Structure 1
Amino acid sequence: MLKFIGSGSAFNTKLGNTSAYYKVGNQMLLIDCGSNIFHRIKENNLLEGIDHIHVLITHTHADHVGSLADFIFYSYYSHGEMAKPNVSVYSVYDVKIEELLAINGIMPGVHCLSKKCQSDTQYTFNFCKVLFERSSHVKEIPSYSIELCIDDRLIYYSGDTNTLKESLRNPMAYDYVYVDTCKADYEGNVHLSLRKLSELVNSDVRSKFWCMHLDESFVRQEAEKLGFNVVTNEF
């Protein structure tokens, strides 16, 4: 359903930072824009035919927002009509993405459009419905998962997390569940290990799950043998 520009964890440079997108006509939905994502977008002409980009932000770790300012400046000056904002950024109030962008010289309302959202509230954005839901990740910054409804398909995108909410353990309502999954498995891990995911999800519903945000030790075949899917980069 979603396509992936990158599927790796912060340090998995081979797979790139995890970022997903979806296109409808001349509109594009982009989830996160980590440190190497703008480069991948530009090198692969991903914006061809696109007039407006809607960016959903899960949290402010660099592997999720590190090239967002570059992407906005490029879109403002070099993509579409010059000096006309064609990027809308959506995030929950406490993520403070506007403050981060301001440090990089981005003025919301000038270089981009900005929408601050409440968590656990559904919003309708052009071709999809979006709901942000708080995730368990790190204590230092707030992190959110995203529930999407696109073309009558219900999608759950975990962002970074170290657990699953109870309803995802038997996710009959969801068509796709994209979840942060790593091989690393230790006490206090701020990401969800494949072992833990296997304990939380029954084998009969694992076909709905797609592992993403993969660390360098992650073995695709191991996850697939357990019944999970593993995302693949589009590029």
Structure 2
Amino acid sequence: MLKFIGSGSAFNTKLGNNSAYFKAGNQMLLIDCGSNIFHRIKENNLLEGIEHIHVLITHTHADHVGSLADFIFYSYYCHGEMAKPNVSVYAVHDVKIEELLIMNGINPEVHCLTKKFQSDTQYSLNFCNVLFERSSHVKEIPSYSIELCIDDKLIYYTGDTNSLKASLGTPHESGKAYDYVYVDTCKADYEGNVHLSLRKLSELVRPDLRPIFWCMHLDESFDRQEAESLGFNVVKNEF
């Protein structure tokens, strides 16, 4: 359903920073814009035919927002009509994305459009519905998972997390039947890990539910074959 520009963790430079996208006509949805994502977008001509980009931000670690300012400047000056904002940035209010953009020289009232969301509240964009939920990652900054409804498909995208909400492993508790669950998964498995290990994911998700789960944000030691043997899917970069 979603396509991935990058599928790696912060230090997995081979796979690039984790970032997903979806195109609908002349609109593009982009989840996060890490340090090397603008380069990959431009290198692979992903903006061809796109008139407006909607960017959802999970949190402000560099591997999720590191090239966002460059991407906004490029879109403002070089893509589409010059000096006309064609990027909208959405984040929960406590992520403080406007403050980050201002520190990088972006004027949110000029170079792009910004929208501060409340968590656990559904919002409607041009071609999808969006809801942000707080996730457990690091204590220093807030991080959010995202629920999306696109083309009647219900999608859950965890962002960075070291846990999984119970209803994903036992869907009858929430009444929601997700079509796709994209989850931060790593091979590293130790006490205090701020990401979710494959071992822990296997403990949390019943085997019969695993076909809808897609592992992403993969660290360098992640074993794709091991994950697939356990019944999970693993995302691949797609341009």
| TM-score normalised over the length of structure 2 | 0.98
Q: Deviations over 1:160-193 (max 9, x none)?
A: 0000001001346100000000000000000000
User: Once superposed, which parts of structure 1, at least 4 consecutive aligned residues long, lie more than 3 Å away?
Assistant: none
Please give the per-residue CA displacement for 1:46-105, whole angstroms capped at 9, x wherever unaligned.
000000000000000000000000000000000000000000000000000100000110
Matched residue, 2:93:
93
- Equivalences for 1:54-203 in 2 at 5 Å? 54-171=54-171, 173-203=177-207
The 2-side partners of 1:109 and 1:83 are apart by 12
AA of the residue aligned to 1:32:
D
Report which stretch shifted further, 167-176 or 12-21: 167-176
* Alignment gaps of 5+ in structure 1: none
Structure 2 gap segments, 5+ residues each: none
What is the alpha-carbon distance in structure 2 between the residues aligned to residue 5 and residue 170 of structure 1?
30
What is the distance in 2 between the residues matched to 1:61 and 1:207?
29
> Post-superposition shift, 1:109?
1.7
Q: Paired residue for 1:17?
A: 17
2:221 corresponds to 1:217: yes
**Whole-angstrom distance in 2 between the partners of 1:109 and 1:121:** 24
Note the aligned Cα RMSD (angstroms): 0.6
CA distance in 2, matches of 1:219, 1:84: 44
Give the whole-Å Cα distance in 1 for the aligned partners of 2:170 and 2:8. 26
Q: Distance in 2 between matches of 1:155 and 1:191?
A: 20
Distance 2:33 2:177 in 1: 28
Distance 1:58 1:92 in 2: 8
Helix, strand or coil at the partner of 1:11: coil
1:232 aligned onto 2:227: no
Question: Secondary structure of 1:119's match?
Answer: coil
Count of aligned pairs: 235
User: SS at the partner of 1:22?
Assistant: strand
Give the aligned residue type for 2:120: D
